[in-house]
Structure 1
Amino acid sequence: MSVPAEAPAGPAVGVDVGGTHVKAGLVDAHGRVTSEAHRRTPARTAAAAVVEGLVVEVVRELLKQVPPGVRARVPVGVGAAGFVDADRGRVVFAPHLSWRDEPLRDTLEARLGRPVVLDNDAHAAAWAEHRFGAGQGESHLVVLTLGTGIGGAILTHGRLQRGRHGLAGEFGHQQLVPGGLPCECGNQGCWEQYASGRALTRLAREALRVGGPAGAGLRAAGPGDDLSGVTGEHVWRAARDGDPTSRRILAEVGRWLGTGLAGVVGSLDPGTVVVGGGVSGAGDLLLDPARETLAGTLVGRGHRPVPPVLAARLGPRAGVVGAADLARRRDPASSPSTAGDR
């Protein structure tokens, strides 16, 4: 396998635009975030220009920390929570944002006065885990990001696989339950309605709504009786403290995660699966039920390897780190990774 030239050693700015937060960081060539900035993502109904304005704000905030002589050469990468076209210039559709056929790259380049590399947020996170995290050295990798929804990415022979139209890896919107829960994408029964942060908060609110001792541990973790204040973090923190209701919720979400993974693994045959995103903070309380369900439902089980399901190492910074590294390398999809096959 040929080895590409080394990427420039200077800093890069990475931005991760999700359904809940716009996160950005100044990232060095080793994947270390040296400075951060973030904003709350506005409501889904907010105009595209509002979200783009927040991206410009955080990038400019970080660039102020770079010496003037270096500032003009700092590349910017953006990972967007949506379907990004094959040319990586437009967000075709964003389930959790108002972007519809939005020329995001050109808009940001005009406002920032510098080149911008655009990609899907899950692709950015997957690239980070492949370069610096749990997926290092794995040539055939699937990465899932569990946040508001489920993002996904595929690497084969160390290359990101974007598909013919740039839309590969949207695992979260495969229909797992026909006629099931409605999804913001417009369909019903999508995987992300059962195995994401949204699923965790829905189940937690149901537990609190019932009242009584079943929700006591969860209430003590932070939200009290305020149903609107429940987050996935409340659930996994309560579960780590031994709360049986929270552990039951995580196990249920984990089983749904494993059910969907069986289809992904059966289709793509990866060597490793890495699970990241905010929900993955639950660790083995979430992943052990997923691993058990995957092993018990994968087609050909008992006669084929079951890939390890690993927790991502880079945590909520993965999208930022990956977007920055994609910007620094400009187009890693056209070059093999420096990591060897295994």
Structure 2
Amino acid sequence: MSEAIDLSIGIDIGGTKVAGGLVDVDGNVVARARRDTPHRSTRPKVVEDTIVDTVEELREAAGEAPVVAVGIGAAGFVAADRATVVFAPHLSWRHEPLRDALARRIDVPLFVDNDANAAAWAEWRFGAAEDESTVVMITLGTGIGGAILIEGEVIRGRYGIAGEFGHMQVVPAGHRCECGNRGCWEQYASGNALVREARTLVVAQSPMATDLIDRVSGDPANLTGPLVTEAAREGDQTSIELLADVGSWLGVGIANIAAAIDPGLFVIGGGVSAAGELLLGPARDTYRRQLTGRGYRPEARVVAARLGNEAGLIGAADLARREVVGS
């Protein structure tokens, strides 16, 4: 770690985990740290404590090499000042001055951004979106995050909240969303949606869910998205169908976004994207069927993120470093 100027820290705050990494100028993660995300009912300071602990662990991992910046990728609506979390559906932040609160405890330049913005930046710089002029990133985790990147610039919107595609309404009067509305896209095409539908079958003791019931010893509380994905990979037809349903809903949303933005590339990331073609195949099929002007217009490619679950922390670190060193 002799090239000290190359080191920055990225923190990715999701609905279930706080992941951190010490990142060099080439996007390589040279040290990692992880904590569970505090429950949404806890005070904001508890989340801040978790972030500070993670940063301190990574600074220790850097040894004598100084860290030039810390980037925070937050799962929520981040204001245009890149300092305030206006609203976080899965956390307790409401107009939370996150950057200022952390700056009192961390003596390194700090920058806050939406986690999907950070992931999109990382994929454009180091991953699946290199050399593409117009990119939309969709992150599928506890909910759905989104980001727009055009000609090497993250498009944040007038108030900093662009790309919150997960809260587009796709089903009027549909499932209640944690944001307070009904029928949001993330209620149908996210990790939570996948688990909800699988648990419904397990609770009902459906004969179609025998494999899943066995995997969780009959306890629906033990059911997780990765477990459903594992079952699908091992040939369980019900799990394959559950992922295909999520993929189909993903395709519906992608077609809507294509009508509005006309990107050249959709990059699909987040934990649910680990299902690969079990998810992306149905998504592409539905996207092509739903696309406005289908058959008469170019179609954006739909690809898996290359950087996996670390895209958010890599992007947050690189964006923060560029704010300090300028390149």
TM over 0.5: yes
Tell me the TM-score range normalised by the shorter chain.
over 0.9
CA RMSD of aligned residues (A): 1.6
Partner of 1:330: helix, strand, or coil? helix
Aligned residue number for residue 289 of structure 2: 296
Among 119, 125, 128, the alignment partner of 1:131 is 125
Aligned residue number for residue 48 of structure 2: 52
Q: Distance in 1 between matches of 2:272 and 2:208?
A: 22
State how 1:192-207 maps to structure 2 within 5 Å: 192-207=186-201
Q: Distance in 2 between matches of 1:300 and 1:89?
A: 40
- Once the two structures are superposed, what CA deviation does each residue of 1:279-336 show, in whole Å capped at 9, x if it has no partner? 000001001111000000110101001111000011111111111101110189xx9x
Opposite residue 93 of structure 2, the aligned amino acid is W
State how 1:269-308 maps to structure 2 within 5 Å: 269-308=262-301
Partner of 2:116: helix, strand, or coil? helix
| TM-score, normalised with respect to structure 1 | 0.92
TM-superposed CA distance for 1:229, in Å, is 1.4
Among 221, 224, 236, the alignment partner of 2:217 is 224
1:87 is aligned to 2:90: no
| TM-score, normalised with respect to structure 2 | 0.96
Q: Distance in 2 between matches of 1:152 and 1:128?
A: 13
Opposite residue 49 of structure 2, the aligned amino acid is G
Q: Distance in 1 between matches of 2:265 and 2:105?
A: 39
1:243 is aligned to 2:239: no
1:155 is aligned to 2:154: no
Opposite residue 163 of structure 2, the aligned amino acid is G
Opposite residue 203 of structure 2, the aligned amino acid is R
Aligned residue number for residue 174 of structure 1: 168
Unaligned runs of 5+ in 1: 1-7
Partner of 1:155: helix, strand, or coil? strand
TM-superposed CA distance for 1:213, in Å, is 3.6
How many residues align? The count is 325
Opposite residue 222 of structure 2, the aligned amino acid is G
Sequence identity of aligned pairs in percent? 55
Q: Distance in 1 between matches of 2:197 and 2:92?
A: 27
1:66 is aligned to 2:65: no
Unaligned runs of 5+ in 2: none
State how 1:96-115 maps to structure 2 within 5 Å: 96-115=90-109
Among 10, 15, 18, the alignment partner of 1:14 is 10
TM-superposed CA distance for 1:101, in Å, is 0.4
Q: Distance in 2 between matches of 1:331 and 1:101?
A: 25
Opposite residue 195 of structure 1, the aligned amino acid is A
State how 1:261-272 maps to structure 2 within 5 Å: 261-272=254-265
Among 36, 54, 73, the alignment partner of 1:40 is 36
2:205–2:213 CA contact under 8 A, matched in 1: no
Among 22, 27, 30, the alignment partner of 1:26 is 22
TM-superposed CA distance for 1:9, in Å, is 4.8
Q: Distance in 1 between matches of 2:61 and 2:235?
A: 43
Q: Distance in 2 between matches of 1:29 and 1:170?
A: 28
Opposite residue 26 of structure 1, the aligned amino acid is L
Q: Distance in 2 between matches of 1:132 and 1:231?
A: 30
Q: Distance in 2 between matches of 1:283 and 1:315?
A: 11
- Once the two structures are superposed, what CA deviation does each residue of 1:155-191 show, in whole Å capped at 9, x if it has no partner? 1112100000100000000000010000000000000
- Once the two structures are superposed, what CA deviation does each residue of 1:251-270 show, in whole Å capped at 9, x if it has no partner? 11111110111100110000
Partner of 1:239: helix, strand, or coil? helix
Q: Distance in 2 between matches of 1:49 and 1:245?
A: 42
TM-superposed CA distance for 1:115, in Å, is 1.2
